[in-house]
Structure 1
Amino acid sequence: MAWLALTPAEIMILTAICFAAGVVRGFSGFALSALVMASAALILPPIQLIPICWWLELSASVLMARGGWQEADRRIVWGLVITSALGTPIGLWLTTSIDVESSKLIALCVIITLAALQLAKIRIPALASRSGLYGAGLLAGIVTGLASVGGMVIALYVLSSDTPARKMRAALVLFLFLSSVTSLIWLFWFEMMNQQAITRGVVFAVPAIAGVYAGMKLFTPRFEPYYRPFCLTLLCGLSAFGLLRLTLS
């Protein structure tokens, strides 16, 4: 507890959050960080949650990378990864430049907005172009640095192209795996990946990994039509709850 700088109650809550987020990640291929940010932003500020989420995403990506590499469109994924790397420092600069309460508010607003757009099945034709590909990657990098939810932007991009659920999941898995390398560089550059963040990340990666295994077992053809609405509805609910708590506090 001394190493984590958290109370026993906070450790238990974060453990449960990481496990549940891992289940969703294993099932859908994304939303791990978004769920953690939406649920835990009232315990830790985003600037402390972002490096923890990096460890959780890396752990999940290692487990799921094989399927992503085999099924994803690698040309598109590489375009998203490169432009995302350019946007990440912009988001991190915003996160480290504003006060904690504003950072929480922005992070939760980003999550609920992106989730609502996907839940409403909003399709943006411009995203189907080359400039749309690069724009989606850049925006994903910015919100990764700001709220660690770049996967939501990529999911919105894939949704606009009517990609089948299995290929969408594979593209998200591969994107999150490859982009974790550039994200780590920027986290060290902004001095956010310190000893405490590493300790917390490694500890909470354990329940996240257990959740990912459980979620992967649920990803069967029978449940594929339902996985996206479930995850997005959950994200909207958690974000709305977090915004309400933040407003009333």
Structure 2
Amino acid sequence: MLGDTFLNLSPISLLVFLSVVFVAAFVRGYSGFGFSTILMIGAMPVIPPAQLVPLSIALEILASASQAPRVLSEINRRYLAVLLAASLLGAPVGVYILTFVAEEYIRIAIYFIVLSTTLLLLFGKPKPLSPASPHLVAAGFIAGAVNGATALSGLVLALFFTASTVSSHTMRATMIAYLFFNDVITGSLLLAANHYDPSTVWRGLIALPFLLAGVWLGSWRFFATPSESFKTVVIWLVVLFCAVGLLQFV
């Protein structure tokens, strides 16, 4: 069978993988982030992390490309440029920290800090941040450092944007563009290091229809959602991702 030969997955494992891809793609289509988080949590029982990471990056790139026609006009180029430049400065810091602290401890700390801050946003109602350059530089630098250590920059950016005065459409579009550029860089490094074997390529091809269907449905749901409720939904998604992430270490 195809699953046993080309994909190195049993029929049940393949069903689990494709189901997780669809759910992750729906969330990505709706919110602009969260695909890799869901895929890593949901598919790790059937695919080893070393094989799942390059596959996740490739699918993220395809998801962003499929969303591009509808988000290009909504991307704030200044926000994107500042975030990317600052993240490039922050990434080496994250990699440096990773050389001295085990990744699982860093993940626990990030999940806990992001979760605590998100709950403060939900129940404390602090004054929204303006998207001024110092705030963008700080957010980009922290996101870059977090990405260098744990690849969880999407959570940091989602937290920053939901705490800011940026509109929901600009927030979503700019996050999609930011993650696209980060994923292209990471994917290129993984490709150069020969992490894309035939099984990974076949899994990506088989998952593509489920990815596109999920992204399309999620995007449709976004445009049907009132702008004022979007950030609340994103905040609860961040809470969910952090809570599930912490539960993995219990």
Matched, 1:171 2:174: yes
* Distance apart, 1:61 and its partner CA: 0.8
**What is aligned with 1:20?**
23
Amino acid paired to 2:80: V
Report what 1:8 is aligned to: 11
Unmatched 5+ stretches in structure 1: none
How far off is 1:129 after superposition? 4.9
Aligned to 2:66: 63
Asked whether the 8 Å contact 2:37–2:241 carries over to 1, the reply is: no
1:116 deviates by 5.1
Identity of aligned residues (%): 28
TM-score in terms of structure 1 length: 0.77
On the 8 A contact 1:45/1:104 being kept in 2, the answer is no
**Cα distance, 1:20 vs structure 2:** 0.8
- TM-score calculated relative to the size of structure 2: 0.76
The answer to whether the 8 Å contact 2:146/2:153 transfers is yes
By how many angstroms is 1:92 displaced?
A: 6.5
Contact 1:20 1:211 in 2 (8 A): yes
Which moves more between the two structures, 150-159 or 26-35?
150-159
Instruction: Provide Cα deviations, 1:199-238, integer angstroms capped at 9, x if missing partner.
Output: 4334333312110011111123544333343344345335
Aligned length: 243
Alignment-derived partner of residue 117 in structure 2: 117
> Is there any run of 5+ residues in structure 2 with no aligned partner, and where?
none
Between the aligned partners of 1:6 and 1:106, the Cα distance in structure 2 is: 31
Distance 1:240 1:115, change over 3 A: closer
Out of 213, 219, 222, the position equivalent to 1:216 is: 219
For 2:154, the equivalent position in structure 1 comes to 151
Moved more, 219-228 or 55-64: 219-228
Shift, 1:17, TM fit: 1.3
The separation in 1 between residues aligned to 2:188 and 2:226, in whole angstroms, is 37
Name 1:194's counterpart in structure 2.
Answer: 196
Query: Shift in Å at residue 50 of structure 1?
Result: 2.4
